[in-house]
Structure 1
Amino acid sequence: MVDLNERHELLYTSSPIAALPIEILSLVFHEVQRTRRATGKPMIPHVEITLSHVCRHWRAVALSLPSMWCVFQHSYAPWYGPVRPTRERLAVYLERSGDHPFDFWIDFKTNEPVYQWLLFPLLEIALPHLHRFRVLHLLSNANHSLKEFAEQLAGASVPLLEICAICPDNNRTHEFKMASLVANKANIFRSGAPSLKYLRIDETSMCGFLPPLNAIVHLRIEVRRTALPTLIPNTAFDAIVSLPNLETLSHSSELFELQEYSGSVPKEPIRANKLKHFRSANILITIYALSHVVAPSLESITINGVDSVNEDGQLSIPNHVAFPSLRIVAFTRGRLNSPRHGPNLQKLMACMLNVEELLFWGKTRDQNATEDTFRALLGTDSAPSPWEKIKKATLNIPFSSPTEILLYHQFIAAKPNLEVLRVPPRCLELPTFLQGVPPHIDLRAIDESEPPLPLCWVPGPDWLDTEEDPFLSYCRVFE
């Protein structure tokens, strides 16, 4: 009687694929792995494990390829599979990957007490290999403070590290000596991280997991789940936005103590010579940046507004600001205060005369706020809109009444250079809407598979990197 393993071998040797040269088979393995990872959803069991268990020949080929074992992913989620073999699997991946650059993606957001028996032992296994890590992506929560790990990382050498995300998301931040916080005061990787380009941190990371920032190109600072944000003085924000290599800055939290709370005001303009993309979900931070930052290379901004609901005593953008390179402006929905038609919006439009693309995501719970801001973007006879160069627009505003449909038509009429218009899918089913769209405009439905904002980076599996992007959560399409 032929056992199961022998049967697999017989089936394989009789298959045409058995005649493939090892070089070709290796390319096939890598393509299968790449395609599966591109979906953003991990296969359980993982592709490389499945391939290595087909037959002896395939196993030998898979084990001979260090690049097949250089990405380790794990999430503490019920659908991800058993957690107890995780340590053994990581040790095997580290061994089989040899000296190949290694990617380490971990998501331990759980209420289970797994830190001492599972999470920290995983990190201990990884520590001796940090010198070849290309990615260190670690999400946790208040149940796992990672304090011991921070101490281990203080003097670690990470010459190859390009992508780093460490978000402990503690309920209580450590005591801050705020006056001494500066952008180059590293808590970890103090011996240097020369290749580090992408960094994602939360407010607790800045207390104990801040790496050297001089090489950073893409920086995300986000409040994730903590109820009480820590206030950081203006000087820290000034140092961050003026980092020498910074091209993208995404700031979604209320971390910084600003002028309204007696924060310092810079005596000289803050130079951000390489900054290309700026995202801010806080009106005060947006006004502060627009007022004090000189960014000659700025190409896109993503904001939820520049005028508060209550305009009494609000900060004002100076009249002299200018961003000549800015081409894309995106308005998202705000959490609390809705963006309103006010003097700062008028100044914003006047200082960005070369805008070619507008993305406007209306607020579903406050239709009046949506219409107020949108009318300001349209312009009036007394205050015409300076944004006449717009070629592409994404407009997500209500369309259930003739007045709302008229807003779309007025926008189209006021933008003579408009070439592409994206609207909610159901708009395309309304004859009253279609009648007001000239035939030369490329009319499209907003496709949720496309990036809803001008800045949407995914350095790794989207199930680990975008599931908490607060800006994307504001971009729900009207139905």
Structure 2
Amino acid sequence: MEREPRPLREKIAESLGLKEKELSALEDLRSLRIARGLDEPWGAADATEHGLFERRRRYYAELSNAWLSTLCTFPTEILLELFYAMQDVSRETGYITTPAEVTITHVCRYWRQLAISTPDLWNVFQYDGEESKRFPVDRLEVYLNRSKDRPFDIWLDFSNTFPGRLYPEMILRPLFPHSERWRTFHILSDDNTLFGDLHEELRKLNTPNLEVLGLCPEVSGHHSWGTGVRVAAWTPNVFIQSPSLKYARLDVGSFYELRPPLTSVVELRIENRFDDSLRDVMLTAEFIDSIFRLPNLEALSIFKMDLDIPDEALPITRPRIEAKRLQHFRCNWDRANNLGSYFLLHVAAPCLESYAITDLYLGTENQQFPFSRSETDEDPFPSLQTVAFLGASVDAGSVDHLLGMMTTMKKVKHFVLSTAANSPPNERQFPLYLAAHGVEVGAWPDLEKITFNADYLSWRDALEPLVKGFPKLNHLFVPKQAFDSVRPEVRERLLRAIELVALEDTDPLIPLYWCPCGEWLDSPSEAI
């Protein structure tokens, strides 16, 4: 029976934290493996003393992990569940250069064999051009082979990579023969030449299982698109054979040559990703109407896009457009053409649950955008419960305008307001304005929860009128500074007890979910 020299044995045992009898058991196991032809005897010493030690230490470490570890006595099904959990946890932290499945294959031979033979561990491929120094074509081939016939998810971010766009084709072309397996194809770039000459191939692709699609070849301000585009209709020209498509994400660049079919889409994001980009795409009222009419649409975000919605062409007497299944709508406020106002005036959404506007501005010089047709207008949003104004600028002059909006949304239960950064002192008085004016007209009688994510100096003065005016109000979420400013005697004077909660920095403001992917694929400016 082959034994290691005692000095080497002691050094290996100490390095691996093994007892002498455990190392002896491993040596016995090695002898058995040699007898069965699974291992070979050590050859003549052909390395330095340190090299010899490292080689033997690695061998016994793998053998120990495979046969002495408690994990390795678990049934295969349990081990695989642990592997999947490791993948999920690793992806929650964003893009990582060494994926969990690769780490697993380096633990021991048994784990490696099990992982390599499990296709579901290899059917998600990620690439981040900012984090990776080279295009991992070889790694992609490995993932395609090991995933066998399983549905395949592709997340590619070519932003912040070096100039020249022949290189992405090195990744894209090997993927095309596997298009029938694609479940996710999500690609970001900051260069409009991303797809080069591949548009015809994208049009012909057969992608029957594709559910998630992101086509975002946006350019920043230092690039030029050339001739602008006025979008009045949507004619699909890529991914035409995608009957299962449920989620689509587009940006300005998508409107030039990358238009997927949207009929089956459930969640749609049309968003400008760069504040300084050349916004040469103009969305017309006809196009906006066609989006609201999509038969399966449940969540819609239209963000920082230029709109062409002439007031004179859109009388508020025309019938409302019915967005039959729309549940969540988000847009930004644009002082030139306001989609938020257009939506409230011209759309009926019987299933709408949440309505969010970012960068809302309600100054007196911006009152040309009405929010309601008339007091007798039938409730167009009977299911609406959450209204969020994010990064808003509001003051005393905005109250009447806001009340017009409130009367359009009759059954709101949760109101969220976060003010713009560095808001002037007069805007911090908004809770008091809301208490004094909103209550007077009986707006939002079913309001149960208010979230004010800003430090308001007048919070103590507004608390009592708010509780008195909104009879169903039972939760107030405020910043910690405002929370600490409310003395116990103020709470004791309230008409009824309510729950006052201090907001932490990490608390989400609204229960909306806009992205089915890791945060590494979104820029910070996109976060709600």
* 2:450 aligned partner, one-letter code: A
Q: What pairs up with 1:281-292 in 2 under 5 angstroms?
A: 281-283=332-334, 284-292=338-346
- Once the 2 structures are TM-superposed, how far is the Cα of residue 241 of structure 1 from its aligned partner? 1.1
SS in 1 for 2:409: coil
TM-score for the superposition, normalised by structure 2: 0.79
Q: What pairs up with 1:54-93 in 2 under 5 angstroms?
A: 54-77=107-130, 80-84=131-135, 86-93=136-143
Partner of 1:204: 253
Partner of 1:98: 148
- Once the 2 structures are TM-superposed, how far is the Cα of residue 29 of structure 1 from its aligned partner? 1.3
* 1:103 aligned partner, one-letter code: D
* 1:330 aligned partner, one-letter code: A
Change (3 A) 1:316 1:11: closer
Q: Percent identity?
A: 29
* 1:159 aligned partner, one-letter code: P
Matched, 1:346 2:403: yes
- Once the 2 structures are TM-superposed, how far is the Cα of residue 188 of structure 1 from its aligned partner? 0.7
Matched, 1:20 2:57: no
- Once the 2 structures are TM-superposed, how far is the Cα of residue 140 of structure 1 from its aligned partner? 0.5
TM-score for the superposition, normalised by structure 1: 0.87
Indicate the larger mover: 141-150 or 123-132: 141-150
Partner of 2:423: 366
Indicate the larger mover: 220-229 or 441-450: 441-450
- Work out which of the residue numbers 239, 242, 258 in structure 2 matches 1:193: 242
Matched, 1:329 2:387: yes
- Work out which of the residue numbers 324, 327, 352 in structure 2 matches 1:273: 324
**Structure 1 Cα separation of the partners of residues 95 and 177 of structure 2:** 26
- Once the 2 structures are TM-superposed, how far is the Cα of residue 385 of structure 1 from its aligned partner? 4.3
**Structure 1 Cα separation of the partners of residues 200 and 387 of structure 2:** 41
SS in 2 for 1:221: strand
* 2:195 aligned partner, one-letter code: L
Q: What pairs up with 1:328-477 in 2 under 5 angstroms?
A: 328-334=386-392, 341=398, 343-367=400-424, 370-371=427-428, 374-380=431-437, 383-399=440-456, 401=457, 403-432=458-487, 435-436=490-491, 440-465=497-522, 467-468=523-524, 470=526, 472=528
- Work out which of the residue numbers 146, 149, 162 in structure 2 matches 1:112: 162
**Structure 2 Cα separation of the partners of residues 111 and 460 of structure 1:** 21
Partner of 2:365: 310
Partner of 1:215: 264
- Once the 2 structures are TM-superposed, how far is the Cα of residue 87 of structure 1 from its aligned partner? 1.1
* 1:274 aligned partner, one-letter code: R
- Work out which of the residue numbers 127, 140, 146 in structure 1 matches 2:176: 127
SS in 2 for 1:332: strand
Matched, 1:235 2:286: yes
Partner of 1:476: none
Matched, 1:155 2:208: no
- Once the 2 structures are TM-superposed, how far is the Cα of residue 276 of structure 1 from its aligned partner? 1.1
* 2:156 aligned partner, one-letter code: I
Contact 2:252 2:279 in 1 (8 A): no
Structure 1: runs of 5+ lacking an equivalent:
473-479
SS in 2 for 1:318: coil
SS in 1 for 2:156: strand
**Structure 1 Cα separation of the partners of residues 72 and 230 of structure 2:** 64
SS in 1 for 2:504: coil
Partner of 2:353: 299
Partner of 1:178: 230
Contact 1:196 1:215 in 2 (8 A): yes
**Structure 2 Cα separation of the partners of residues 263 and 123 of structure 1:** 44
Contact 2:229 2:280 in 1 (8 A): no
- Once the 2 structures are TM-superposed, how far is the Cα of residue 370 of structure 1 from its aligned partner? 3.2
Contact 2:460 2:486 in 1 (8 A): no
Change (3 A) 1:206 1:428: same
Matched, 1:255 2:324: no
* 1:213 aligned partner, one-letter code: L
* 1:455 aligned partner, one-letter code: L
CA displacement 1:42-78 (0-9 Å, x = unmatched): 343111001111222111100110000011112122x
Change (3 A) 1:277 1:338: farther
**Structure 1 Cα separation of the partners of residues 438 and 478 of structure 2:** 26
CA displacement 1:210-253 (0-9 Å, x = unmatched): 21000111111111111434212110011011101111111112
**Structure with the larger RCO, 1 or 2 (CA within 8 Å, 6+ apart):** 1
Matched, 1:42 2:95: yes
Contact 1:302 1:329 in 2 (8 A): yes
- Once the 2 structures are TM-superposed, how far is the Cα of residue 144 of structure 1 from its aligned partner? 4.5
**Structure 2 Cα separation of the partners of residues 433 and 394 of structure 1:** 20
Change (3 A) 1:272 1:306: farther
**Structure 1 Cα separation of the partners of residues 450 and 368 of structure 2:** 33
* 2:214 aligned partner, one-letter code: A
Change (3 A) 1:428 1:369: closer
Contact 1:341 1:376 in 2 (8 A): no
Contact 2:299 2:326 in 1 (8 A): yes
Change (3 A) 1:120 1:353: same
* 2:201 aligned partner, one-letter code: Q
**Structure 2 Cα separation of the partners of residues 434 and 388 of structure 1:** 27
Contact 1:427 1:433 in 2 (8 A): no
- Once the 2 structures are TM-superposed, how far is the Cα of residue 340 of structure 1 from its aligned partner? 5.7
Report the RMSD for the aligned CA atoms in angstroms: 2.8
**Structure 2 Cα separation of the partners of residues 433 and 212 of structure 1:** 58
**Structure 1 Cα separation of the partners of residues 140 and 507 of structure 2:** 34
**Structure 1 Cα separation of the partners of residues 251 and 211 of structure 2:** 18
Change (3 A) 1:258 1:196: same
Q: Size of the alignment, in residue pairs?
A: 459
**Structure 1 Cα separation of the partners of residues 155 and 263 of structure 2:** 24
* 1:178 aligned partner, one-letter code: R
Structure 2: runs of 5+ lacking an equivalent:
1-51
